[in-house]
Amino acid sequence: MRQRCNNKNLAQYKDWGGRGITYDPRWESFENFLADMGEPPPGLTLDRRDNDGNYTKENCRWATPGVQRRNSRRIRLVTWQGETHCVKDWAQKLGLGTSQLMLRLRSGMPLERAMFPGRLHRSRPDEKAN
């Protein structure tokens, strides 16, 4: 966390400190960080709930790698029928491949059609009788 926010030589600095992401000044002391966040449960690492927010007790949690991947700026969220999920979760819920759903959405297909579970067939123009 401190390296990401402070070390301009870090390749990914642009994604944290370079965007203005900071951390609670209390967390300069590891003891204060530990008092606020506690020990990480096995398999979990530090995650910010709001990726545009700072590292603070209110904005941080211990999360699995899967939760963290879905909480990335690169993840596309889709709201449909009152629910919001990332494309991967929608694809799983609808029985589609993630890349299949992403292609539908990127093509500009109307959401009602893109979210159709199953294979879509192109409509063919009516054949004219000779």
The residues spanned by each domain of the chain are: 2-64, 77-114
Question: What rounded mean pLDDT belongs to the chain?
Answer: 87
The structure's pTM equals 0.62
- Over pLDDT 90: what percentage of the chain? 53
Reading the block at residue 37, the tokens are: 């966040």
Over residues 20-65, the pLDDT tens digits come to 999 999 999 999 999 999 999 999 999 999 888 999 999 999 999 8
| C-alpha–C-alpha distance, residues 21 and 82, integer Å | 31
DSSP 40-98: PPTT-EEEESSTTS-B-TTTEEEE-HHHHHHTSTTPPEEEETTEEEEHHHHHHHHT--H
